Chain A
Amino acid sequence: MSRATSLVSTEWVQENLSNANVVFVEVDEDTTLYEKGHIEGAITFHWREDLQDGLIRDLISKEKFEALLSKSGISNDSTVVLYGGNNNWFATYAFWYFKIYGHQDVRLIDGGRKLWELKGLPLVTQVPARTASRYVAKDRDNSIRAFRDQVIASIGVKNIVDVRSPAEFSGELAAPAHLPQEGGQIKGHIPGAKNIPWSKAANEDGTFKSNEELSELYKAAGVDFAKETIAYCRIGERSAFSWFVLHELLDLQNVTNYDGSWTEYGSLVGVPVAVGA
């Protein structure tokens, strides 16, 4: 994958609004945004109700993913174009999700909902009626997902990138500053993790920085691209953003997202924890 195949511009979106093979999907943290207005023809997935198992803490099953996409009129050969608020956090999480279940052609709008709005481009409130399809997902591709035991075994061995804000990394805050301060049982970070906040990869308007800037960002922070890299945050969404940067834009294949992230790690009994910058 690369920037050319994984990312589309707002201009591309405008040119493809009536392309029948393209399905635009908005995925937001603030799930009221879609109702306020969305890109014409776009449907929405609710990050919690649609994309979390609900009973156990996990992704939805293959069968549920197939049902969600079928209900939404997404076919195996659809070009799925994701976007969302909050600099595409949850849209990149959904992108990672589509890759987990093997969707062939999934892309992200560079700048997401924010750039669309900052450009003053039109939003509509009409919810499109889509004809149901028969979607067939692949088995989960866990080569892009990290689990807790792999993370613990990777301390001092692989690159571990903590993409949370410096205040969360150091242990000052337990959650991002727009959320009540709840998180794992304790505060801090995985020992040896490099703190490279997801936000450093984005421009103020929500677009991604250039590949040259991104590559320099990670290398300067001590990430060795020859090694495997695990990205984590608090619940796995922001780290999906950084996973997208490393795996899709920089085209590094040995990158995983630890979606258990700090809410899991920071609650594990007996695992090593570091605090401070």
Chain B
Amino acid sequence: MRTCGATPGGPDLAGVDLANQTVIQGVVLRGGVSDGVPNGSPVDNAYVRLLDSTGEFTAEVPTNLEGQFRFFAAPGSWTVVVLAHGAREEVKVQGQLGTPIDLVIHI
């Protein structure tokens, strides 16, 4: 499924107090091609883990029906780990106050 036209990445940020939150979010897709436009099928049964700069577990969320996830973190280095049936992906990110990180993760 190609979701061209939809907002890439995580859930709608309307209503999120971005000035006071360090948002790390995104979408998990299976299949498709990573060509800058999110495509592939949303993975609605993945688990996304957030690890801090020392690799310590901080939080975990299941993806929603659209394959999306969101964390409210703090500024600094974080690692996002995606677990799903038959797949494991890691992405390193730098959290910033006010500028949400929006990931598209293919498994």
Footprint of B on A, CB under 8 Å? 30, 32-33, 36-37, 85-87, 114, 117-120, 165-167, 172-173, 175-181, 197, 199-200, 204-205
Contact = CB atoms under 8 A, between A and B. Distances in A.
B27 to A, nearest CB: 16
B62 A85 contact: yes
A167 B83 contact: no
A33 B72 contact: no
A172 B56 contact: no
Interface residues of B, number: 27
B37 interface: no
Interface in B54-105: 56-62, 64-65, 70-74, 81, 83-86
10 contacts: A117-B85, A165-B52, A165-B56, A167-B52, A173-B73, A177-B74, A178-B61, A178-B71, A180-B72, A199-B56
Given A167-B74, A181-B21, A176 B58 contact: yes
A13 B61 CA distance: 24
B58 to A, nearest CB: 5
Nearest to A117: B45
Q: Chain B interface secondary structure, helix, strand, loop or mixed? A: strand
**Nearest 4 pairs of A and B residues by beta carbon:** A199-B57, A177-B59, A178-B59, A120-B85
A86 B47 CA distance: 9
Given A165-B59, A178-B61, A178-B70, 5 more contacts: A33-B62, A118-B84, A178-B60, A197-B57, A199-B56
